[in-house]
A and B are shown apart, each in its own frame.
Chain A
Amino acid sequence: MPLLGFAALAQSLDEAERPAAECNFAFPISHGTVEGNARFLHCHSAVLARVAVDRVTGMVEVLDLDQHTAAGPVMDVANYSGQIEGGGVQGLGFTLTEDTLIEGGAFTSRNFDSYMVPMIADAPANMRVFAMEELDADDPYGPRGVGELGISAVSPAIAAAVADAVGVWVAEAPFSPEKILSRTGGMTAAVE
C-alpha cells in the first residue's frame, strides 16, 4: 500500500482538474465595526463544579462539572457537547495539573511524563452540558461559535468549590497539592 503525500496527490491532477473553493466572511469584531450592543458578539457560560479535597495530600478531585452556555441555537449536538465537555476537562487540566515551566528560555516540560494532561481517571464522574438556545429578538448575528468556550469558566468554578470545601481561595493555576497544603496548613491545621 503506497502512501501518497498531499503535494504528490495535487500534482497527479492537471491544474484545471484540481478542486478549488473560495469564500469570505467579514467577521464582526467589537472594535469599531459593531453599532450598538457589543455583547451580541460574545457568548456566555456558567460552570458549577463539585470537588473533593484531600486535606492530607492536598489533591483536588473534580467529581461533577455542570456547564451552562448561552450561545444561541445548537446546530450540531455532537459537536456542541464535544466542545463543551472537551473544554471542561481541558480547563480541569489547566486548573489542577498542567503547567508550562520555563527555565533559561526553554520549556522544562518536554513530554507527558512531566506535563500532566488529565487522563480518563481524572474526568469527572458526572458532566452535564446545558444550552440556553434563545436569542434576543434584536440579535443581529445568530448562533455563536462555541469552539473551546467550555474552557473559560472552569478554573473559577473549581476555585470556588475548593474555597467552599477547605476555606482557602487559590488564585493561581495550577492548584498544585503544595499550594493547597501551604494555604490550609495540611495535617498541622486545627480540626474545625
Chain B
Amino acid sequence: MTHHQTRITIRFVLNGEPVEIAARPDDRFVDLLRDRLSLPGAKVGCGIGRCGSCTVLVDDVAMNGCLLLAYRLEGRKVTTIEGLGSLPEGRAVMAAFSEGNAFQCGYCAPGFTLAMTALLMRETMPDEADIREALGGHVCRCTGYHSILRAAADAALKCGTGD
C-alpha cells in the first residue's frame, strides 16, 4: 500500500473525549485505534470490509474501521466498543447479548454489538428482517447466528420498554 508521506492533524471526538492526532490521511482508522490510541476492541479480521469485526460507530452509523481512512474522521463523533456503555441502547444490547449467551469465542462480538446498537438508535422496534439486514455484514463462525438473533430481539424489547 502506498502511503502519503505527509502527516495531517485530525480532530474528532472519540468516546466522548476530544482527540487530536497526527496521521497520514490514508491510515486505516482501525490501525489508529489499535496501535496509537490503545483501543483494541475493534478487530482486524479480513481487512477488506467483509467480516465486520472492526466495526465502529461514526456519527451513530456502523462503519468498517478497516475501510475508513483517517482523513474522513475530521470533525466526526466516533464510538468504539470501549465507549458503548455511555449509550442507553448500547447498555441494552450488551445486557441482552450477555444474558442470552449470544456469543462463543467473542471475536465478532464488538462488531455485532455496535451494529445492533446503531440499529436501535435509528429504529425503536425492529423486527427480525430489520435485524438480519442490520447485522448482515458480520461473520460469526461459532454460533450459527440464532443465539445472536434471539438476543437481538431481546435487546429491542429491553430498549422499547426502557428496561
Contacts and interface: CB of A to CB of B under 8 A. Distances in A.
Interface of A: 1-3, 78-79, 81-82, 85-90, 111-113, 117-121, 123, 127, 150
B60 to A, nearest CB: 21
A148 to B, nearest CB: 10
B48 A120 contact: no
B40 A127 contact: no
Contact of B143 (A85, A111, A113, A117): A85
A107 to B, nearest CB: 15
**Interface magnitude class on chain B:** 20 to 34
Contacts of A121: 132, 136
Given A119-B136, A120-B136, A85 B147 contact: yes
Contact of A127 (B46, B50, B51, B146): B146
Contacts of B45: 112
A120 B138 contact: yes
B48 A82 contact: no
Interface of B: 38, 40, 45-48, 50-51, 101, 104, 132, 135-149
B144 A87 contact: yes
A85 B144 contact: yes
A82 B104 contact: yes
A35 B83 CA distance: 57
Given A120-B138, A121-B132, A123-B149, A89 B144 contact: yes
A117 B40 contact: no
A120 B151 CA distance: 14
Contacts of B142: 82, 86
B146 A119 contact: no
Contacts of A2: 38
A120 B38 contact: no
Given A78-B101, A85-B147, A3 B141 contact: no
Per CB-CB distance, the 7 closest pairs between chain A and chain B, nearest first, are: A89-B144, A78-B101, A85-B144, A112-B50, A123-B145, A86-B144, A120-B145
B48 A111 contact: yes
Contacts of B101: 78-79, 82
A78 B99 CA distance: 10
Nearest to B140: A120
Nearest to B137: A119
20 contacts: A1-B38, A82-B101, A82-B143, A85-B144, A85-B147, A86-B141, A86-B144, A112-B139, A113-B46, A113-B50, A117-B139, A119-B137, A119-B139, A120-B138, A120-B145, A120-B148, A121-B132, A121-B136, A123-B144, A123-B145
A79 B143 CA distance: 10
Nearest to B52: A119
Nearest to A85: B144
